[in-house]
Structure 1
Amino acid sequence: MRLKVAVGCWVVAVALLAAVPLAAQGDPEGLAAVPEFAGPAWWLGLMVITLQATVLQRQPAIPRGAVVAVALGAPAGALVGLQDAVGVTSVAVLVATFLLVVGEPLRELWGWLAAAAALVALGQVLAQVDAGSDVGPAVSGGLVQGVGTVGVAVLVGAVVRARREVSTAREERLEALRREQAALVEVAVARERTAMARELHDIAAHHLSGITMVTGALARQIDTDPEGAKAAVREVRAHSKELLRDLRGLVTLLREGPADDADRQETLAGVGALVEAARRTGADVRLTVDTVDETGAVGAGVGPLAQLSAYRTVQEALANSARHAGGAPCEVVVDDRGEREVVVSVRNGAGQDAGPGGGLGLVGMRERAELTGAELSAGPTPEGGWLVELRLPRG
């Protein structure tokens, strides 16, 4: 790319160097002091232009010094006798200055640019004096030539650099926005995955623990209690249908939004249905509801999200009781007598066959409690059982 620029600059300068003698022939009074075409001074001038193009081609190696080196072509051209044609050396100075200003911060270049302008002015002064002009007008013309040549290149280069910087800043800002958006999407996806994992765990653990208990009893009843075995099979079927319904509801929720499921209340009022479902699996579960409401309603002042959290907590606690303390008695208590909070607790006794736990259940309980401003405590009891207690603040 730099070679093309140098060659183009050389071609333009040579064309001007050839055109000036021809123009002088048509206007001998205006351009009398010019070298003869193909004369000694003309060839020396061509050498100066060629040297300028060579330095320009090597500009990436010495960008700042190259501007001064190229500007030396002006006094060199004047010394070889270009006289009024010395302006052709300014072509390379224009290009070199432009490239320098575009490539580097302008505040660091003023000394180099001033030196280049001084050399161009010096070349112009020497050329005009050689052509017979007085020193005063020659100096004025030299200053105009030097400042004009370098100033125009600086102005154009600064505008181009500013536009590039604006474009670069815009691209960087867009890239930063894209990275931020990608990070937000990743966080959202991670949250959705966690939420789906929690919901799937709650749904599956609740029903599958019941199915496990019923099938365990079924294996013992097939030969001794056929009617009981048939009832157990019906219970397994009921749990399986509920599990499929819940999974379909979750899929519908993920695809379209909240699913219509008016048959079930996932609130404090629905805790009784959870207890009844657990009893149908053969679990020994007792429910106690303490409330001051004459109608027996619970959860006044507790938001729907907090009530859903309580419902899921009881559901998970019952599933854990069946899985880790199968056969042990379990008690669910909903205490709605407090003025500022509702306390929901699930306590089970020590079990005989505690299965392994993955830890997702308790993690899900704590996350829901934090989201709703509730307080969750869970841990072993002195009797060897387990207690889960959730305190729900009222609005």
Structure 2
Amino acid sequence: MKADAAPRLGRWQQTWRLAAAAAVGVPAWLSVGVLLRWQEAEPGSWFRVGDPLVALGCLTALLWRRRYPLAVALTVAIASPASALATGAALLALASLSARRRPVEIAVVSSAFVTASQFAVGLYPVARPPGSLWFQLAFPALTAGIAVATGLAVGARRVEVRSLRERAESAEREQAARADRARALERNRIAREMHDVLAHRISLVAMQAGVLDHRSDLSAEENRVLVRGIADGSHQALEELRGVLGVLRADPGRPEPPQPSLDRVPDLVADARASGLDVTLTTTVSGTPSDVAGRTCYRIVQEGLTNAAKHAPGTRVHVRVEGCAGGGLGVSVRNSPATARNPRPPASGFGLLGLTERVGLAGGELDHRPTPDNGYVLTARLPWPNPTPERNT
């Protein structure tokens, strides 16, 4: 919609505007009749017939003022001075055109109205005092000015209301977009947390179940160990799932439980080793990195072990963590080629993708690629700046 376009009117709005225009013209028409009687002049047939017919024509033309605003306003402005009863129609036409806020159109129609008023004064036999020419010019000009000012005010109000409406609609769209983004982020958060917590446990359980399915030479004690590992892993997976759901359902103002960090990496490796994965760990870390770096390092090792258990059964995995303040924190999870064949596990699609996002948010870099010996390596470098010394005050 254009800025100067008038809103569409309903039938009731159109009716009461035309009725108001007709009602405004009635006092002007009666005033002319009273003035003629007071001056003992004969009103004549124009006052009784011509004046009302011109007013009716002007009011009828106003029905099309929204579709043809300039043509209707110019026609009414030229014809209305010949009819006292059409005064309201002239005011409505000028105000309606002025609401469009186009100076050239307003000037043309106002000039036509004032000029036509000078030629219409002879239609009524009213005696005029000498020197009344200024009044013949000033009164139509004042009438046109009032109508134009009213129309400009209405137009300004329409623009303001339209601007407020568009601003409110824009705010609603932005609010809806923010809500959609929040829902998407929450879904991604839930998926990432579920993947981080459950994928590792379920992968180890699947690996142990695969060993039971493909190894027929195991002793009874080895079978019991694997079955016990499957039961324990399933129980831990359920417990961790319950913990994740508790965090997601918790009150937003309630603090979340502490997340695993760098000091939990040995426990993570021990769990994987107990589940049958051949894992070695080398740690050469001097100092304690930030919580973000430590937590990200833990998730990197967890994802590497999970992928090794899922996609390379029977492999040997070497985990290396090294770093110091000022030199960064390096993480590497390297596995040899798979030595067993298991059915291809389903891929969630959130593992390395979510890990890349997590490392990027921590300010680090992540890389993963196959090795020349058909193995796989996952490496990351995380920032670990020197601690800022406190200044003495």
TM over 0.5: yes
Asked if 1:378 corresponds to 2:368, the answer is yes
The amino acid across from 2:43 in the alignment is P
- Residue in 1 that maps onto 2:33: 21
Tell me, what secondary structure is at the counterpart of 2:334? strand
Match of 2:131 among 130, 136, 159: 136
Cα distance in 1, alignment partners of residues 150 and 166 from structure 2: 24
Cα distance in 1, alignment partners of residues 86 and 247 from structure 2: 77
Residue 333 (structure 1) shift: 1.0
Tell me, what secondary structure is at the counterpart of 2:281? strand
Number of residue pairs matched by the alignment = 368
Asked if 1:316 corresponds to 2:316, the answer is no
Match of 2:170 among 171, 176, 184: 176
The amino acid across from 2:168 in the alignment is L
The 5-angstrom pairing of residues 79-94 of structure 1 reads 86=84, 88-94=85-91
Call closer, same or farther: CA 1:260–1:6 in 2, change over 3 Å: closer
Residue 382 (structure 1) shift: 2.0
Cα distance in 2, alignment partners of residues 310 and 361 from structure 1: 14
- Residue in 2 that maps onto 1:295: none
Residue 65 (structure 1) shift: 2.1
Residue 275 (structure 1) shift: 0.3
Call closer, same or farther: CA 1:312–1:282 in 2, change over 3 Å: same
Cα distance in 2, alignment partners of residues 280 and 106 from structure 1: 87
Maintained 8 Å contact 1:211/1:281: yes
* Long gaps (5+) in structure 1: 78-85, 293-297
Residue 231 (structure 1) shift: 2.1
Maintained 8 Å contact 1:221/1:228: no
Residue 8 (structure 1) shift: 4.3
Call closer, same or farther: CA 1:305–1:120 in 2, change over 3 Å: farther
Call closer, same or farther: CA 1:224–1:114 in 2, change over 3 Å: same
Residue 267 (structure 1) shift: 0.7
Match of 2:377 among 365, 387, 391: 387
Q: Deviations over 1:55-102 (max 9, x none)?
A: 22332343212222212334534xxxxxxxx4x432211111111222
Cα distance in 2, alignment partners of residues 176 and 270 from structure 1: 48
- Residue in 2 that maps onto 1:367: 357
Cα distance in 1, alignment partners of residues 79 and 257 from structure 2: 89
Give TM-score scaled by structure 2 length: 0.84
Match of 1:199 among 189, 193, 202: 193
Q: Deviations over 1:196-239 (max 9, x none)?
A: 22222222220111001111233467885222222222211221
Cα distance in 1, alignment partners of residues 222 and 297 from structure 2: 33
Asked if 1:347 corresponds to 2:334, the answer is yes
Residue 20 (structure 1) shift: 4.7
Structure 1, 253-262 or 318-327: larger mean CA deviation? 253-262
The amino acid across from 1:290 in the alignment is T
Cα distance in 2, alignment partners of residues 154 and 236 from structure 1: 87
Call closer, same or farther: CA 1:230–1:276 in 2, change over 3 Å: same
Maintained 8 Å contact 1:121/1:145: no
Match of 2:99 among 91, 96, 102: 102
Call closer, same or farther: CA 1:145–1:32 in 2, change over 3 Å: farther
- Residue in 2 that maps onto 1:114: 111
Maintained 8 Å contact 2:334/2:375: yes
Tell me, what secondary structure is at the counterpart of 2:49? helix
Q: Deviations over 1:308-364 (max 9, x none)?
A: 111111101101001111111111111135642111111110013373645431112
Call closer, same or farther: CA 1:115–1:344 in 2, change over 3 Å: same
Call closer, same or farther: CA 1:313–1:33 in 2, change over 3 Å: farther
Q: Deviations over 1:147-183 (max 9, x none)?
A: 1111111111111111111111111112112212222
Cα distance in 1, alignment partners of residues 135 and 337 from structure 2: 106
Cα distance in 1, alignment partners of residues 21 and 302 from structure 2: 83
The amino acid across from 2:65 in the alignment is Q
Maintained 8 Å contact 1:341/1:393: yes
The amino acid across from 1:312 in the alignment is R
Call closer, same or farther: CA 1:90–1:135 in 2, change over 3 Å: farther
Cα distance in 2, alignment partners of residues 34 and 58 from structure 1: 36
* Long gaps (5+) in structure 2: 1-10, 386-393
Cα distance in 2, alignment partners of residues 22 and 111 from structure 1: 33
Residue 110 (structure 1) shift: 1.7
Cα distance in 1, alignment partners of residues 27 and 105 from structure 2: 34
The 5-angstrom pairing of residues 287-298 of structure 1 reads 287-292=281-286, 298=287
Match of 2:21 among 6, 9, 24: 9
Structure 1, 139-148 or 355-364: larger mean CA deviation? 355-364
Cα distance in 2, alignment partners of residues 261 and 245 from structure 1: 14
Call closer, same or farther: CA 1:337–1:10 in 2, change over 3 Å: closer
Maintained 8 Å contact 2:319/2:332: yes
- Residue in 2 that maps onto 1:80: none
Call closer, same or farther: CA 1:107–1:24 in 2, change over 3 Å: closer
- Residue in 1 that maps onto 2:5: none
- Residue in 1 that maps onto 2:8: none
Cα distance in 1, alignment partners of residues 255 and 208 from structure 2: 29
- Residue in 1 that maps onto 2:49: 43
Match of 1:57 among 37, 42, 63: 63
The 5-angstrom pairing of residues 195-344 of structure 1 reads 195-219=189-213, 224-256=218-250, 257=252, 266-292=260-286, 298=287, 300=288, 302-337=289-324, 339-344=326-331
Cα distance in 2, alignment partners of residues 280 and 100 from structure 1: 87
Cα distance in 2, alignment partners of residues 330 and 224 from structure 1: 23
Residue 107 (structure 1) shift: 5.0
Tell me, what secondary structure is at the counterpart of 1:390? strand
